[in-house]
Amino acid sequence: MKLISNAIETHSKSLKRVTFNHISQEINLVVDDLAKARVTDNGVKIVDPSGGMLAQEWEPFADQLVNAQSPETLLSIIRECVEKEKIPFDGAQSAEILLGRDTRPSGESLLEAAKQGISSIFGAIALDLGILTTPQLHWMVRAGNKGMKATEPAYFEQISSSFRCLIDLIPNGTKANKLDNRVVVDGADGVGGEKLAVLKNMLTDLVIEVRNSGEDGGLLNDGVGADYVQKEKVVPRGFGSNDVGIRCASLDGDADRLVYFSVPSNSSSKIDLVDGDKILSLFALFIKEQLNILIKEGNQKSNNNFQAHLGVVQTAYANGASTDYLKQLGLEVIFTPTGVKHLHEKAAQFDIGIYFEANGHGTILFSESFLSWLEARNNELALVSEGSEQQKAALRLLSVSKLINQAIGDALSCLLLVEAILQQMDWSIHKWNELYQDLPSRQLKVKVVDRTAIVTTNAETVAVSPPGIQEAVDAETAKYPRGRCFIRPSGTEDVVRVYAEASTQEAADSLANYVVKLVDQFLGFGSSV
């Protein structure tokens, strides 16, 4: 289930958070229901009124609330937070809480618990929006607090109409191959497959075939989905030899991640993976081309001196070949610690910020100042050179800003944007996949006594503690052509994760295995996992 606060009136920012976190204790009452279900729990997701993720400074408070052992402890935690944050309780306050759930069996009972919690808060109103993807609910919170229509039909209408606009703006000289106008999508037996079945009927320029939609009784994320495809690099359930050469994609269970793949031959279950790094590269290439068209000389006006700051944000887990490719395009590439919240925050500092993780979670953020300039520039071009390539570029960028979900990574909107760009460029998935060749890599982990003994800096790529470990990693890495290696502690368990790259798979494996032994010598039990 996804839990979202959408307070449109005068409800204070701090009180909004108390309101939806207060519900967490109620949710604990029904967690036992998850044991009866065959699917894995995905937790309760809380969304900031901006449409983004819960602000990091409120995470410790949320953790305390959900782990409160008694009603008395719960009230004590709330009182402490109210005093610390100076939250006013004078006068009536109102708030709307948007609630949605996914297709897991636990959804109904969790939703009912949330409603009970909300009803205990004076002035709070629960709006049950039914079954939704996580990104849909993020989008609706953002839309509602911006004064837009915050409904599922409005979401579908915006992304489908923006997709049609991009298709209509394909240059006349580009002859898209209609035979390649088909994509087969693995819905991971989750909510995304169900919603994609609705969306595909609103499109005339794209043929979408949905498999593993959940209707055939398949188990959520079991041998299907973006995470499975990206990590295992094999076809998901329901795909095989009949799909050789066809453009395929996988959503994850709640549809906030997307990866593409193709089946190279009918003699193997292996795939050619097109992951989040290559989705990012495709988006960056397209956005950069439109900006170049828009700012080219001609039709100069006083309003045409805006130089958009375009930036790309990655984590250290991004394949080094993708980073090299993006830098060769002349793009600014910034690294952050692992985690979408870090990527999103950094991307928001650009006029146009693009971020993606290799697992397929990412989006494009447009600043309000850039969009205001872009609207003005489009209106200006419509008067002096309507239908020009410059105006079309402006319209494409405006359409992208409406198609892409700027609140969070959204597999449905990213899928449509990928398909629109491929049609614009008249590219097959194979040509897209040839943008660059991934460097061989290996990820391993090793059990340690205390993961907090590893302290990192420089976006988690340099270990500053324990003393000497980084120097040892660097010395080994230097032995391998195109070698790169870093270690970082897990955020949830006492293990240290090791990532290595090199010019060959054998070299990447060797480097990773050596560093695992190194970490074990410094911090471990004497055995890797």
Annotated binding site for substrate: 357-359, 488-492, 497
Angle between helices 276-294 and 411-425 in degrees, nearest 10: 60
Q: Left, alpha or beta for 10 (phi > 0: left; psi -120 to 50: alpha)?
A: alpha
Whose tokens are 């074990």? That residue is 520
Measured CA to CA, the distance from residue 255 to residue 233 in angstroms comes to 19
Measured CA to CA, the distance from residue 347 to residue 366 in angstroms comes to 9
E-strand ranges in 140-293 read 182-186, 207-211, 248-251, 258-262, 272-274
Whose tokens are 């849909």? That residue is 136
Summarize the annotated binding site as residue ranges. Answer: 252, 254, 256, 357-359, 488-492, 497
Task: With beta carbons less than 8 A apart as the criterion, state whether 63 and 91 touch.
Answer: no
Measured CA to CA, the distance from residue 71 to residue 58 in angstroms comes to 20
Measured CA to CA, the distance from residue 494 to residue 497 in angstroms comes to 10
| Token pair listed for 495 | 């293990």
Task: With beta carbons less than 8 A apart as the criterion, state whether 528 and 520 touch.
Answer: yes
Task: With beta carbons less than 8 A apart as the criterion, state whether 108 and 6 touch.
Answer: no
Task: With beta carbons less than 8 A apart as the criterion, state whether 80 and 13 touch.
Answer: no
Identify which of 208, 162, 206 has the alpha carbon closest to the alpha carbon of residue 186.
208
| Token pair listed for 149 | 């229509």
Cα Dmax for the chain: 72
| Token pair listed for 505 | 């798979």
Say how many residues make up the chain: 529
Task: With beta carbons less than 8 A apart as the criterion, state whether 443 and 497 touch.
Answer: yes
Q: Give residue 145's identity as a one-letter amino acid code.
A: N
Q: Helix (H, G, I), strand (E, B), or coil: what is residue 462?
A: strand
CB atoms within 10 A of CB 480: 20
Q: Residue ranges of the alpha helices (H) in 203-308?
A: 226-232, 276-294
Residues contacting residue 180 through CB under 8 Å, at least 6 positions apart = 247, 428
Residues contacting residue 463 through CB under 8 Å, at least 6 positions apart = 454, 455, 456, 469, 470, 473, 486, 487, 488
Whose tokens are 């002096």? That residue is 384
Summarize the annotated binding site for Mg(2+) as residue ranges. Answer: 252, 254, 256
Task: With beta carbons less than 8 A apart as the criterion, state whether 230 and 236 touch.
Answer: no
Task: With beta carbons less than 8 A apart as the criterion, state whether 19 and 97 touch.
Answer: yes
Relative to beta strand 310-314, strand 332-335 is parallel
| Token pair listed for 148 | 């837009």
